[in-house]
Amino acid sequence: MQRCTITLGREFCTGGRGIAEEAAKRLGLRFYDRELITLAAQKSGFSEEAVEAGEKQHTHSLLYNLYTMGNDLPLNDQVFIMQSRIIRELAAQGPCVILGRCGDYVLREQPNVVRVFVYAPEDFRVRYAMNSPDFRDKTEKDIREAIAKTDKRRAAYYNYYTQNRWGDAHSYDLALNAELGRDACVDIILRAVQAREASL
């Protein structure tokens, strides 16, 4: 039986990373998040800081840049292309869990992938952030602004590099409300993986 890779995108402060890590742990799969920054830096010769900065920007059009600039692509486009290549290589080596980085789109032609998006109501996300050490000294207003800003950046990045819309359920196999709880979300993902693997 062919095993599945999981890609997981998420709104900010939903606990999506923890859900992805727990799914990987329970399935015995490798988990990739910041490791993709390290791998891209090693393969490209850029520093990890440059790769991370490249993840947070986008230019006018990747297709336009490919057409007009040849190999002189902006750093952010080079980072996306490099990380996409790495994601495909990792998935080809065996099942794993990929967090963010348009993984669902990068692996869109692969049948053995379960694509997940995690969202939650804003009040849930504010409460989640208030319990996180990263936001210990932040006000509720600060947190709401950080959520809106991060979601806007993630959406702009995803919408720029893919033909889909970030968070649109049509782009994923599962859209999960984090308010269900981490264990419930992981259980649903595992059932979806089981169903997908049985159909391959």
**Given this model, what pLDDT does residue 130 score?**
94
Q: Which of 43-52, 98-107, 171-180 has the lowest mean pLDDT?
A: 43-52
Query: Could you give the number of structural domains in the chain?
Result: 1
Query: For the segment 117-130, what is each residue's pLDDT rounded down to a tens digit?
Result: 999 999 999 999 99
**Given this model, what pLDDT does residue 36 score?**
79
**Given this model, what pLDDT does residue 92 score?**
94
44 versus 87: the higher-pLDDT residue is 87
Burial group, residue 175, by CB count within 10 angstroms (0-12, 13-18, 19+): middle
In a domain? residue 200: no
* pLDDT value at 56 more than 60: yes
Kindly state the average pLDDT of the residues 30-41: 83
Please tell me the distance from the alpha carbon of residue 16 to that of residue 52, in angstroms, as a whole number: 19
In a domain? residue 150: yes
Query: For the segment 83-96, what is each residue's pLDDT rounded down to a tens digit?
Result: 899 999 999 999 99
**Given this model, what pLDDT does residue 66 score?**
45
What mean pLDDT value characterizes the chain?
88
pTM: 0.88
Please name the residue ranges forming H helices in 94-181. 103-106, 122-130, 140-161
In a domain? residue 56: yes
Q: Which of 4-18, 25-39, 132-146, 162-176 has the lowest mean pLDDT?
A: 25-39
Sheet holding 113-119, edge to edge: 30-32, 96-99, 5-10, 113-119, 174-177
In a domain? residue 199: no
**Given this model, what pLDDT does residue 54 score?**
66
Cβ of 59: how many Cβ atoms within 10 Å?
Answer: 14
* pLDDT value at 45 more than 90: no
Residues 113 and 5 sit within 8 Å (Cβ to Cβ): yes
* pLDDT value at 200 more than 50: yes
**CATH code of the domain in which 139 resides:** 3.40.50.300
In a domain? residue 44: yes
Q: Residue 149: give the domain boundaries.
A: 5-194
In a domain? residue 157: yes
Separation of CA 162 from chain center: 13
**Given this model, what pLDDT does residue 63 score?**
45
